[in-house]
Structure 1
Amino acid sequence: MVLVPLHPSKAGPAAASAAGNSDQAIPTKPLINLLRGWPAPSLLPVDQLKMATADVLADTGVVVDSLQYGPDSGFQPLREQLASYLSRIFAAYGVPNDPERICITGGASQNAACILQSFTDPAYTACVWVSAPCYFLMCPIFEDSGFAGRLRAVPEDDQGTDVKALERGFKEFESSPPSEPVYKNNLAPQRKAYRHIVYVVPASSNPSGKTMTVSRREQLVRLARKYDALLIADDVYDFLQWDVPRADAVLANKQTSVALPRPLPRLVDVDRMIRLEEEPIEDPKSSRRFGNAISNGSFSKIVAPGLRTGWVEATPAFAYGLAQTGSSKSGGAPSQFSAATINVLMRTGELDRYLQEVMRPALQWRHRLLIQAYEKHLSPFLELKCGGLPTTDSELPTTYGGYFLWFKLRRADWSAAAISKRAFAQENLVIAEGPLFEVKGDEAGAQFDDHIRLCFAWEDEAKIEEGVERLARVLRNWDEPEAATDAPQAGAGDFK
């Protein structure tokens, strides 16, 4: 794993001379970080948030509620805005405009922890199955909830999570299932423990960039229903999708309005549609109707991470049960003031305008810059796995999204970890090596030391190509003797 100083610009790898003499230090290259999966500072909607917070603080009918403890299920106006918005975006799939299906959360990560508290029992829930390569920072959340040593990697294929591999894993636990939850007998009737948890990112998965096909989504839901599994779908990139122009097409400029392509049905939509076909729900609030898939949404990628606000969409029974998690019952819904602020952005249409006129165009533009830089500098060394530009008129329009591109090393004798280490030592360049995205405790289940991930969302546009040039220089000169450095080291998590 690459090790990164907390402040590399002050103590970067080039700060020491080849002889290690600090009195003769050479100038430090500015740090370029193509690991960090954050929105660029220039993309944060500062002006819109100033307007929205001023609106909340000036509204005597809202300000007190927004600054007090919130109801367990969250700020009701935001629940209503989200229900209306999601029913419109996913109208093709009959998504109901129902606030009872929405629970406001403290973001996707915090919500995953709450789901594990309220819908698992370590004595009953067999495993947490993680689609691999995975978002690596999710693994400690599962471990903290009692599943250390019980995370299992499920590899991806061309359509997404490999359902055949997942079913083989489920069957391993069929011979002697426990009869009922042991430790968390307080869950019923408002909550329940699932036998299995499955974690996936169906759209623009981090890091692979893959989007799961509709047929695979249906297979996954049916499998979850068969084996009493809960699908936790991190749907954090669903609104950050764009059509990818042909390679020879010219993008007018990065300010061009970019509409959201027609989205695919989320796993929670597939679960609802199949359930309505096969098991009509007479009482939609029945505690027995928790469902087998939830949509874990977040405003971190589409507004700002610091707001720490998200939502879950699920059956009304699941959404209500989630609101009964102890931390929510004690403190009320998390992010009450942030929720009120985001509600203004949605109510006034500012969120949609920002996504259409700022965020999606910028990401589309940055994605293209990284692809072009790859083709110019890196294609002899790396194979792009997903998200390239169409090359001919006959090709169907493609859609891409998210923050990342995923590459496979072309040389069998290369190690992603070694490349990452050398890129930092020689070029003050931070990249994400494939082993970061292996499932903790089941690294052998799906290995990625021949892959790297590059992020196009964080760095300024000029630094994207410069970072690619630096990486290409490392790979081009790989077989030359490596110069010794006195590079300081710290955890790669500092630049997650």
Structure 2
Amino acid sequence: MSKQNNELKLKHLFDGGEWNVYDPSVLNLGVGAPGTDLLEPCCDIFDQATAHCLKNEKVVNQSLIFQYGPTNGTHKIRNEIAKYLTEMYESPVHSEDLIVTTGASQGLHFLLSTMIDFNGYIFVDEYTYMIALDSMKHFSSLTIVPLKLNDDGVDLNDLEVKVRDRRFNSEKKEFWAIYYTIPTYHNPTGILFSPTVCRGIVELSRKYDFLVLCDDVYNILHYGNKPLHSRLLSYDSRTDADYVGNVISNGSFSKIIAPGVRLGWLEVPPRVQPQLLRSGIINSGGCFNNYTAGIVGSLFELNLAQPHIARLYAAYKDRMLAVNKVLESELPKTCKCLVPSGGYFIWIRMPDHLKASEFLEYCLKHEKITFIAGPRFAVEEGKGEQFFRLSIAFHKKEKLVDGIIRLCLALKSYMNIVKT
């Protein structure tokens, strides 16, 4: 065992790995992050926003941006986020319901450590965001339970049976269990949960009193008809006679402004907000990202964030539509692809006798293309071997189209070699 840490002097999250997304010799179709071309304007717009924010701090605010911030974030930043989301969602988002975080991953960890009985359960879709699973597994006393996923969202019958059979009364925490999901342009499948499924989830959460945490990081990235409701939380209406408050929207600017900003928000019901704001971790340090939140507040106030987000949206839409068009004509007919109407990801199923991990090796060898194989997104050992996920976010459209054409050709060749 080494007694010394090795400093690798990395420049970004994907640096130093076998499949560095910036390595021109390999086309990485697995990375769920905006590309360099989309982040280029950030230096200029953040320069302007920082100057605006710090001038205000120096002149009128006693430099309080450098102080421990209010636990839920300053009113200014919460108001700017709420105003923007209200416009984009076309439904009210109230500043008093928001808690500033450092992103959706930290929001998940914060809720697991604060609201869920440590002898309880985490219900997840049978395929879900792989790094969320990694985070959940650190809470080793919690039991992770996978749920069947249909083309319109989680299977409500499966959810009810598994919740009903495990329910217990927690004496230590507000909730005995949590259902973690990505109902709007699901990761990895791209599914948009139907209104029927969304309403069913809310009904079951009230009936069995478990928490629903929605990773709402792709919600404004709709490339066809806008969903009836932009987030599942809207179905948990406070005007309902049986409303208690069982749904939380977990948002982030990572996909729509820049991942390095490390800023997000939780939109929470009145039932849980006091417990979250009394948590020791937030009381000790105050607002999780007070300085950057102030800068982003100015970014919105100066109308710099809005056109930047619109530019990313337009690029993502152009890329997704172009990739879907190629897949429609070039993907082998024995493979299945649910065409996403928004978000980042495309989920492809090969015939049952094939394994995505083996095709990945073939594709890397012959076309220098990588992606993420299905088992990485599953709780159950050996599940998802026929699936793989593609991302449209990082590369320019022309590079994506060329890569998808070559991937489909490689898949046809591979299927001719590996026959039943």
TM-score normalized by the length of structure 2 = 0.88
In structure 2, give the amino acid aligned to 1:166.
L
Matched, 1:141 2:135: yes
Structure whose CA Rg is larger: 1
Would you say the 8 A contact 2:263–2:293 is kept in 1?
yes
CA distance in 1, matches of 2:201, 2:149: 12
Find 1:219's aligned residue among 177, 182, 200.
200
Following TM superposition, by how much is the alpha carbon of 1:151 offset from its aligned partner in structure 2, in angstroms?
A: 0.7
In structure 2, give the amino acid aligned to 1:103.
I
Following TM superposition, by how much is the alpha carbon of 1:478 offset from its aligned partner in structure 2, in angstroms?
A: 2.0
CA distance in 2, matches of 1:51, 1:242: 30
Instruction: For residues 41-68 of structure 1, give each alpha carbon's deviation from its aligned partner in whole angstroms, at most 9, with x where no partner exists.
Output: 1112412222212211222235722222
Which residue is equivalent to 1:78? 77
Matched, 1:43 2:8: no
Would you say the 8 A contact 1:214–1:265 is kept in 2?
no
TM-score normalized by the length of structure 1 = 0.75
* Aligned length in residues: 399
Could you tell me which runs of 5 or more consecutive residues in structure 2 were left unpaired when the two chains were aligned.
1-14
Following TM superposition, by how much is the alpha carbon of 1:214 offset from its aligned partner in structure 2, in angstroms?
A: 1.4
- Divergent runs of 4+, >4 A: 7-10, 479-482
Instruction: For residues 215-234 of structure 1, give each alpha carbon's deviation from its aligned partner in whole angstroms, at most 9, with x where no partner exists.
Output: 21111011011111000001
Following TM superposition, by how much is the alpha carbon of 1:118 offset from its aligned partner in structure 2, in angstroms?
A: 1.1
The root-mean-square deviation of aligned C-alpha atoms, in Å, is: 2.5
Following TM superposition, by how much is the alpha carbon of 1:316 offset from its aligned partner in structure 2, in angstroms?
A: 2.9
Instruction: For residues 66-96 of structure 1, give each alpha carbon's deviation from its aligned partner in whole angstroms, at most 9, with x where no partner exists.
Output: 222211111221112223333444445xx3x
Q: Percent identity?
A: 28
CA distance in 1, matches of 2:208, 2:411: 46
Which residue is equivalent to 2:122? 128
SS of 2:158 mapped into structure 1: helix
Instruction: For residues 245-280 of structure 1, give each alpha carbon's deviation from its aligned partner in whole angstroms, at most 9, with x where no partner exists.
Output: xxxxxxxxxxxxxxxx46515222221x2x422147
Following TM superposition, by how much is the alpha carbon of 1:162 offset from its aligned partner in structure 2, in angstroms?
A: 1.1
Following TM superposition, by how much is the alpha carbon of 1:435 offset from its aligned partner in structure 2, in angstroms?
A: 1.0
Would you say the 8 A contact 2:246–2:269 is kept in 1?
no
CA distance 1:279–1:377, shift in 2 (3 Å): closer
CA distance in 2, matches of 1:479, 1:343: 52
Which residue is equivalent to 1:200? 181
Find 2:398's aligned residue among 451, 459, 462.
462
Instruction: For residues 391-437 of structure 1, give each alpha carbon's deviation from its aligned partner in whole angstroms, at most 9, with x where no partner exists.
Output: xxxxxxxxx2111111111x332111111122223322111111111
Would you say the 8 A contact 2:169–2:176 is kept in 1?
no
SS of 2:175 mapped into structure 1: coil
CA distance in 2, matches of 1:428, 1:8: 10
Residues 78-227 of structure 1: pairs in structure 2 closer than 5 A: 78-92=77-91, 95=92, 98-123=94-119, 125=120, 127-147=121-141, 150-174=143-167, 177-178=168-169, 180-181=171-172, 192-227=173-208
CA distance in 2, matches of 1:135, 1:408: 17
Which residue is equivalent to 2:365? 425
SS of 1:138 mapped into structure 2: helix
Following TM superposition, by how much is the alpha carbon of 1:130 offset from its aligned partner in structure 2, in angstroms?
A: 0.4
CA distance in 1, matches of 2:356, 2:412: 15
Matched, 1:371 2:324: yes
Find 1:31's aligned residue among 26, 30, 36.
26
Would you say the 8 A contact 1:429–1:467 is kept in 2?
yes
CA distance 1:162–1:262, shift in 2 (3 Å): closer
Following TM superposition, by how much is the alpha carbon of 1:326 offset from its aligned partner in structure 2, in angstroms?
A: 2.0
CA distance in 2, matches of 1:41, 1:109: 22
Could you tell me which runs of 5 or more consecutive residues in structure 1 were left unpaired when the two chains were aligned.
13-28, 182-191, 245-260, 281-288, 388-399, 483-496
